[in-house]
Every structure is written in structure tokens, then in C-alpha cells.
Amino acid sequence: RPGLVIAVDGPSGAGKSSTSREVAARLGCAYLDTGSMYRALAVWCADHRIAADDTDAVVAAARDLPLEITPSPAGFTVALDGRDVTARLHRPEVSGMVSGYAAVRDARRSLNARMRAIIAASGRIVVEGRDITTVVAPDADLRVLLQADPARRIARREAELNGAADRKTVTEQVVGRDAADSASSKFETPAAGVVLIDSTELTLEQVVDKVIGLVPAEL
């Protein structure tokens, strides 16, 4: 089969992960959640007492990060130095600190190189993040920016957390992380050639159908 790279960007809570995972499953593609790589960097730095403003140390950590990603249809396993850290990656304390590490420009370069290697090795893949359509894979076969109204994104996060945090806390997290991340990547408006999908009024199924409908027929 021919190669196929689908890039999906968007803010937190827009439905990137659910959409990308489902599109990958339906098309028989690999799936790369690049946020998990930044989250793994944050976990590694926190465990090694490297603060986000110690940029030299963060850059070195990103360069040498003993990161192992195992894509699977069921999801995604992330190991650091042979230890499975998948369950830690989405904890609130990691979500709260990841943007600071992701802001370190040369750390991003290191992770970008790893992402490109994974993309090149996989042939057919759905890659999601914040700067995949613009920086990591601007030549992807299909580039999508997934958006949704903030109220909808906050409600989705709240539902995901299942009562673990109240509306005010979730709002601060979502809005705060978007603001911090928008300094590193431009994911608010689609770049030239990037298709905008607003998922505010759509079900997951409808978004997935839209993305699959946009895949060039010959791929």
C-alpha cells in the first residue's frame, strides 16, 4: 500500500486523541500521540529534578531521553528507561507542568527529529499534536486542525475526569494550558492547506467520518 501521513493538530479537549486513534484503527494506520512524548519528557525531568527553566538540562534530557514508544491498536505504551510510565502521563500534575518543558525550543527540535523518524519508519500513520501540520509534517498527505468551542472542550475534559475535578479547576487547566502552548505552536487557526474541522456540534463518529472522507482516494 502507498504511504499515508495524516496530521491532526488542535487545542486540548478538541477530541484529537479519540479522533486520531479511531481514524488510525479504521484505516489500519499506526498512531502517534506526540503529546505523550512531551509528557514523558516532563515526567523524566520531574523525576530527575530538572526544572523547566533550566533549559540546558531540559535540552540534554530531550536529546538523551531513553524513550520507548510502542504503538498498538488498543492505545499506546510509553516507557522511560525500560519502565512503563503510560499511566502517569495524563495525571493532573503532568498536565500542569508539561507546557513549561514543551516551551524549550531546542528540546522541541530533538523530539521533532524522533517524531519524523517514527513517521518515516511507519509508512501509514496518524500523528496528532500541536505543530504536526505546520512544523513536524507540513508535507503530510492530509492535515487537519480540530477545533471546538472552549465551553465544549471544558465539558469534555470534565466528563473525562469523571468528577475528579470541578468545573472551575478544569476551566483553568484547559484555558491555562492553551495559553501556555500557543506561545510554542500556532494551533488556533489553520495554516495554508490545513482543513479546519469544528467538532463543537459533532459526535466523535461524525468527526472520524469527515477525516476519513478527506483522505485522497488513491491513498
Please report, in range form, the residues annotated as the binding site for ATP: 10-18
Cβ(34)–Cβ(17) under 8 Å? no
18 binds ligand C5P (CB under 6 A): no
Cβ(19)–Cβ(207) under 8 Å? yes
19 binds ligand C5P (CB under 6 A): no
190 binds ligand C5P (CB under 6 A): no
- Per-residue x/- marks for ligand C5P, 38-77, CB under 6 A? xx--------------------------------------
- Helix then strand then coil, % of the chain, to nearest 5: 50, 20, 30
Q: Which stretch binds ligand C5P (CB under 6 A): 44-52, 152-160, 164-172, 181-189?
A: 181-189
144 binds ligand C5P (CB under 6 A): no
Q: Identify the bridge partners of residue 67 per DSSP, sorted by sequence position.
A: 80
Question: Phi/psi at 29 (nearest 5 deg)?
Answer: -105, 160
DSSP string for 63-117: HH--EEEEEETTEEEEEETTEE-GGGTTSHHHHHHHHHHHT-HHHHHHHHHHHHH
Cβ(104)–Cβ(59) under 8 Å? yes
Query: Contacting ligand C5P (CB under 6 A), which of 21, 124, 130, 153?
Result: 130
Alpha carbon distances (Å) from 141 to 31, 89, 194: 15, 29, 10
98 binds ligand C5P (CB under 6 A): yes
129 binds ligand C5P (CB under 6 A): yes
- Least distance CB 192 / ligand C5P (angstroms): 19
Nearer to ligand C5P, 99 or 217 (CB): 99
Kindly list the residues in this chain that would bind ligand C5P in the complex (CB under 6 A). Answer: 12, 34-35, 38-39, 98-99, 102, 129-132, 177, 181, 184-185
